Amino acid sequence: MKDYYRILQIAPDASQEEVKKAYRRLAKVHHPDVAAIGKREVQEVFILELNEAYQTLRNPEKRSHYDWIRTYGDTSNSVTTSTIQNTSQRTRFNRRPFFKNPLDEQELVKPYLHYAYALSKIALVFCFLLFIDFLLPLRLQKDRAVYLTDVYSVQKGNTVHDHTKIETWSGKQVKVSKEAGMQFSSNPNMLVYKTRLFSKARYVTSVLKRETRYLIGRSIYGNFIFLPLILLLTAFLGSIKRFTPELDFSLGLVSGVLMLICTGLLLV
């Protein structure tokens, strides 16, 4: 029976982290690419045994089973060992095997995890700012509709009114419904309700009919309000560090993308 602990040059009570470190160290030293020409076949066989040992000891269940057989023996051990040895001998005469590093995907994302956590935390702060901006009392700004443009879209082969784009005296552009557009075509003087922090327009109303507010639908606080809510969820989950490294990395990446989209909606 092969002594996997001897192959990896570690003690039988070595931790999982020690197993990984030993594997990485030996894989670099004995890689066929760095071996002398006359020793490549020997190194290839050693790499196969090294991979076999690592695949067994890195898995808690396989390691427990291996330790049991190693301590108490197994009648099928001789057959299994003979089969493995014959397989190893046959590889001497086969093509040089492709060396595949069996390290976990966790090892691939670990160097970038701190960036993912930072993105999640920044996105979480950004969400709180949006939340505060949404809840604070709106401020009023007087403006005047200068140009009104009806925008149409095609739905199921029919041309329908999509929205009315209003260009104001202050140089802003707001998109409102057809009803609101008709209101401002006859009464161009308007009041714009804006948020306190980001100065994002949420409502418009006519000076003559202040009781009727028209929602600016195509904005981050209108039709796209679901984006900050999704961002809040992904940023929170990505900040608590309760999941696997792969999932935490994905949550940070998604939070960063959503934060960019929300920032773009604030600027338009």
For tokens 């929300």, what's the residue? 262
Q: What is the pLDDT of residues 67-79, one digit of tens each?
A: 888 887 765 544 4
Pair 21, 89 in one domain: yes
In degrees rounded to 5, what are phi and psi of residue 175? -115, 125
Domain membership of residue 184 as a residue range: 137-215
Q: Could you tell me if 11 and 98 lie in one domain?
A: yes
Q: What is the predicted pLDDT for the residue at 249? A: 93
Instruction: State pLDDT tens for residues 188-200.
Output: 888 888 999 998 9
Strands (E), the chain: 139-155, 158-168, 173-176, 189-194, 201-206, 214-215
Distance between CA atoms of residues 118 and 129, nearest Å: 17
Residues 118 and 142 in one domain: no
Lowest mean pLDDT among 28-37, 50-59, 152-161, 199-208: 28-37
Is the domain of 118 the same as that of 230? yes
37: pLDDT strictly greater than 70: no
Residue 85 lies in a domain: yes
Q: Which of 23-27, 91-95, 185-189, 203-207 has the lowest mean pLDDT?
A: 91-95
Greater model confidence, 233 or 191: 233
Q: Say whether pLDDT at 267 is over 80.
A: yes
Classify residue 221: in a domain, yes or no. Answer: no
User: Does residue 202 sit in the same domain as residue 91?
Assistant: no
Residues 6+ apart with CB under 8 A from 65: none
Please state which of the ranges 124-128, 152-156, 232-236 shows the lowest mean pLDDT.
Answer: 152-156
Of the candidates 111, 7, 105, 107, the residue with the CA atom closest to the CA atom of residue 56? 7
Instruction: Give the percent of the chain with pLDDT over 90.
Output: 25
Q: Tell whether 127 and 231 lie within a shared domain.
A: yes
Among the residue ranges 31-40, 43-52, 56-65, 240-249, the one predicted with the least confidence is 31-40
